[in-house]
A and B are shown apart, each in its own frame.
Chain A
């Protein structure tokens, strides 16, 4: 490198410093503010909780809710690995029980706030409509979208009913594992699978694309629990949000999206 080139690059480096500092500062400023409330909620709650969050923010101007939607099992793993979450809402009791066993949530403050139904859906343009679980074994149904039972509650409910009907081994060979209930819904809406297991509330958000073939009775009711996270640095706001979800105002929003009373 010539002296001139060295001087030039040194000059350039000096000019770069303020920019780099600005970038570094903006990165440092990114973590959530103290008033931000991070709520990890089951994917099936996406639409209802988004609206519920808006009305909560309006009623509590000092707090700002941020949502993290995914399969309940995935959310549990994030919390277990130390994600800075304040409230956890799961789509089944099993996932919340695991959270309680690992002392990740405050068990005394756990409440059930909604119920749902398990349904079999088919693409809108499906020519034949299955009417029972046994119909899913027919050769015309090549793929069935089911949430991965290990981490997606809807998959766990589905596996339980299919096992009870002694159809699990037959249907498992047709199973397309979905990473959340919404992915199963999307696979059916695109017509990539002939049928899928989702919640009644999910089927209702895509009325022109999927049809409910039949409702599946479950032994364990589809019951949603919510609880403040034990490691939350925002415990008061977390409890306020949990109370708001279970309040008449919260339940009214949930009912509008088709969720039943707990």
Chain B
């Protein structure tokens, strides 16, 4: 069972990093989409939603083409910094972050849009700066919705398989996450290992959901 624990640790590491990145970028973009009017806003919103709709293999292929050694971004990263993303756990983080991004961004936009603008106007009249209004008025009113989206993003990142397999390969202890370890055990007919892995995955997912219910008791759909 030791490889299973290694895979679990790696899955959690990748999912936490991916969720962290999504939280920062997703809240910023969600806020921009909710509050600013600019041409192409809805088009941008649709494009950002794509990872939720596109097959993970399509995303994996895009990623290979863009961050691969022959890709425009991957090639530049390698020449300029010697960074190689394919077949690394950082590559797995990028794949998971992209796949899970819409969950944070969508719920952040909805949460910010549901904040009554009168509160922000009142704070402005009382002399607060834009940053202070965001941190002390808008964010506290929106955080529950953002948290719910973030937990969904974490769950999605934890289960990511297709794009990760294409971009990060399957290196035990390095990029072999739980979902990939399950796939490989089944392919090789190692049913004992597969049984252990799926049990561990199921228990982890139930724990995440229980934690989600604890953290955001009222606002997660189906848990009211």
**A residues at B contact (CB < 8 Å):** 71, 73-74, 76-77, 80, 98, 143, 148, 150-151, 175-179, 187, 190-193
Taking a contact as CB atoms under 8 Å apart, the answer to whether A71 and B187 are in contact is yes
Q: In the complex the two chains form, is B170's CB within 8 Å of A179's CB? A: yes
Q: Which residues of B contact A193 (CB under 8 A)?
A: 87
Q: Nearest residue in B to A193 (C-beta to C-beta)?
A: B87
CB < 8 Å: which of A77, A176, A187 contacts B187? Answer: A77
Contact size range, B: 10 to 19
Q: Which residues of A contact B209 (CB under 8 A)?
A: none
Pick from B70, B172, B184: contact of A151, CB under 8 Å: B184
Given A143-B87, A148-B170, A177-B171, do A191 and B188 touch, yes or no (CB 8 Å)?
no
- Interface residue from A98, A179, A191, A192 paired with B87 (Cβ < 8 Å): A192
Inside 8 A of B70's CB, which chain A residues have their CB? 190-191
Please tell me if the beta carbons of A190 and B68 are within 8 angstroms of each other in the complex: yes
Q: List 21 A-B contacts (CB under 8 A).
A: A73-B187, A73-B189, A77-B189, A148-B184, A148-B187, A150-B184, A150-B187, A150-B190, A151-B184, A176-B87, A176-B169, A177-B169, A177-B170, A177-B171, A178-B169, A179-B165, A179-B184, A190-B69, A191-B69, A192-B87, A193-B87
Q: Are A176 and B68 in contact (CB-based, < 8 A)?
A: no
Q: Which residues of B are found within 8 Å of A175, using beta-carbon distances? A: 171
Task: Provide the residues of chain B in CB contact with A73, threshold 8 Å.
Answer: 187-189
Q: Is the beta-carbon distance between B64 and A76 smaller than 8 angstroms?
A: no
In the complex, what residues of A have CB within 8 A of residue B165's CB?
179
Complex Cα distance A122/B171, Å? 20
Say how far B173's CB is from chain A's closest CB, in angstroms.
11
Kindly list chain A residues whose C-beta atoms are within 8 Å of the C-beta of B172. 177
- Ranked nearest first, the 3 interchain pairs of A and B with the lowest CB-CB distance are A150-B188, A151-B187, A151-B188
B189 to chain A, nearest CB (A): 5
Interchain CA distance A151-B86 in the complex, whole Å: 23
With a CB–CB cut-off of 8 A, which chain A residues contact B189? 73, 76-77, 80, 98, 151
Q: A222 CB to closest chain B CB, in angstroms?
A: 20
Contacting A at CB under 8 A, from B55-94, are: 64, 68-70, 86-87
The answer to whether A179 touches B86 (Cβ under 8 A) is: no
Contact A179 B69 (CB under 8 A): no
Report chain A residues within 8 Å CB of B211: none
Out of B86, B171, B190, name the residue touching A192 (CB < 8 Å): B86
In Å, the complex CA distance between A73 and B68 comes to 28
Alpha-carbon distance between A98 and B188 when the two chains are bound, in angstroms: 12
Complexed CA–CA distance, A71 and B69 (Å):
26
Contact A179 B171 (CB under 8 A): no
Q: Which residues of A contact B184 (CB under 8 A)?
A: 148, 150-151, 177, 179
Instruction: Name the CB-closest residue of A to B169.
Output: A176
- Residues on B with C-beta less than 8 A from A151 are 184, 187-189
A150 neighbours in B (Cβ, 8 Å): 184, 187-188, 190
The complex places the Cα of A143 from the Cα of B187 at a distance, in Å, of 23
Of A148, A176, A178, the contact of B188 (CB 8 Å cutoff): A148
Q: Is the CB of B187 within 8 A of A74?
A: yes
Query: B28 an interface residue at 8 Å Cβ cutoff?
Result: no
B186 at the A/B interface (Cβ < 8 Å)? Answer: yes
Which residues of chain B are near A190, meaning CB under 8 Å? 64, 68-70
The answer for the CA separation of A178 and B87 in the assembled complex, in Å, is: 11
Are B186 and A77 in contact, CB atoms less than 8 angstroms apart? yes
- Return the chain B residue nearest A178 by Cβ: B169
Chain A min CB distance to B106 (Å):
28
CB distance from A38 to the nearest CB of B (A): 19
Given that A148-B170, A176-B171 are contacting pairs, would A192 and B187 also be in contact in the complex, using a CB cutoff of 8 Å? no
Q: How far is the CA of A77 from the CA of B87 in the complex (A)?
A: 26
A179 touches B187 (CB 8 A): yes
**Least CB separation from A70: chain B residue:** B187
**B187 / chain A contacts, CB cutoff of 8 Å:** 71, 73-74, 77, 148, 150-151, 179
